[in-house]
Amino acid sequence: MKGPVLVFAESSGSQFRKASYEALTEGRRLADFLGTDEYALSIGNGLAAVSTDLGKYGADHVLVADGPDLALFHPEYYRQLALDAARKVSPSIILLPATSAGKDLAPRLAIHMNTGVASECVQLELLGEDLMATRPAYAGKVLLKVRVNGTPKIATLRPNVFTAREVSTPKSPSLDRLPFNKPDSRMFVREFVAHGEKKLDLTEATVIVSGGRGMGGPDNYRILEDLANVMGGVVGASRASVDAGWRPHSDQVGQTGRTVSPTLYIACGISGAIQHRVGMMNSKVIVAINKDPEAPIFGFADYGIVGDVFEIVPALTREMKKFYAKA
């Protein structure tokens, strides 16, 4: 039998990230194709109780390492536990969500296991036992088809691209505790400081309302926050507005910011320069609101409205409220 598929189920607090369910769903598909089992690796604090939930997304087994030292992502502790898990189950494939933790961890594992990583994959397919990964490069201008030539094959999966789906008959996974012997480490993870109120991350949001230079100043983002709140989305920003100091860099969508793929991206007062475009062009539907009818964004937005964002956005918020009240 082929080695199992091992999936890093990253958590945030006492919950798993949506991107982890997406990776588990994809891992389940690959495991079925290979005729093997899926293992989920759950590392955190207070997760033992909820880890069996991973069976809903297809995990046959859950390896859990739990303890106060593991509450926050510690690159060296997590790396050791992931290597312990891999040693235990000899996976043929390791999948991680392409979150900050997954992207930090995967290359470390590859070095220790003498293999390679396909980063930020948007599609995986198996040809026999060969894992072919499709991943964007040049900020999404090109799609590369790549193959990892070591074992295990390691891939990180771009959030919001793969669909998280519960399996028809939920698994009742066995729960194996991974012993954690705190390794020598010169690293001390002091604390996590949240940016403002806790909200969904841009890369995981299904609706993003983004503002650019046309917003005119930091206070005007309130109208975007209002629209995002009504739609259960989050607010993003263009480079121009981040460089102006109106929004934090963590909100920036584009080449030197985040690459996002929400279901709906509403660009407000954003011209749509290539720098921005490469970060959001994989959104399912793009809406553009801009007073300049010549703005490049109208060349690729699915639905464009020419006009003043300060009139149109509040009107859209009211209309959306009505829509959701009826729905």
How remote is the C-alpha of 16 from its chain's centroid?
12
Token pair recorded at residue 4: 């199992």
Q: Smallest Cα–Cα separation from 28: which of 83, 95, 107, 84?
A: 95
C-alpha–C-alpha distance, residues 25 and 10, integer Å: 14
Query: Please, which residue, 144 or 177, has the CB nearer to another protein?
Result: 144
Which residues, 236 to 265, sit near another protein by CB under 8 A? 249-250, 252, 255-257, 263-264
Would you say 177 or 192 has its CB closer to another protein?
192
- Of the two residues 149 and 163, which places its CB atom closer to another protein in the complex? 149
Q: Which of 25, 203 has the CB closer to another protein?
A: 203
Comparing CB distances to another protein, the nearer of 35 and 294 is 294
> Binder to another protein among 1, 68, 142, 169 (CB under 8 A)?
142
Let me know: does 215 contact 209? Beta carbons within 8 Å.
no
Of the candidate spans 28-36, 132-140, 168-176, 214-222, the one that interacts with another protein by CB under 8 A turns out to be 132-140
DSSP for residue 141: T
Residue selected from 139, 167, 175, 178 as contacting another protein according to rule CB under 8 A: 139
Region of 41-49, 86-94, 213-221, 282-290 interacting with another protein (CB under 8 A): 282-290
What H or E segment, with its residue span, contains residue 132? strand 130-137
Give the residue with the Cβ less far from another protein, 110 or 224. Answer: 110
Rounded distance, CA 108 to CA 8, Å?
A: 14
Give the whole-angstrom CA distance, residue 30 versus residue 41: 16
Rounded to whole angstroms, the Cα distance separating 194 from 27 reads 31
Nearest Cα residue to 131 out of 115, 113, 152, 112:
152
Site for another protein in 179-198 (CB under 8 A): 185-195, 198
Q: Among residues 125, 166, 292, 308, which is the contact residue for another protein, using CB under 8 A?
A: 308
Q: Which of 48, 50, 72, 126 binds another protein (CB under 8 A)?
A: 72
Query: In this chain, which of 11, 12, 92, 238 binds another protein, going by CB under 8 A?
Result: 12
Among 59, 110, 121, 237, binds another protein (CB under 8 A): 110
Characterize the bridge pairing of strands 123-127 and 11-12: unpaired
Question: Cis omega before residue 179 (within 30°)?
Answer: no
Query: What's the CA gap between 287 and 270, in Å, rounded?
Result: 11
Min dist CB 176 to another protein, Å, is 26
Compute the least distance from the CB of residue 193 to another protein, in Å: 5
Q: Which amino acid is at 276?
A: H
| Cβ-Cβ contacts under 8 Å for 321 (sequence gap 6 or more) | 230
Q: By CB under 8 A, what part of segment 207-226 binds another protein? A: none
Give the nearer residue to another protein in terms of CB position, either 146 or 175: 146
Residue 264 in contact with residue 245, Cβ under 8 Å?
no
Q: Which stretch binds another protein (CB under 8 A): 35-43, 162-170, 216-224, 311-319?
A: 311-319
Q: Are 86 and 152 in contact, with CB atoms under 8 Å apart?
A: yes
Residue written as token pair 């806790």: 198
Q: Which among 22-30, 32-40, 60-68, 115-123 is the span making contact with another protein, rule CB under 8 A?
A: 115-123
Closer by beta carbon to another protein, 60 or else 121: 121
49 near another protein, judged by CB under 8 A: no
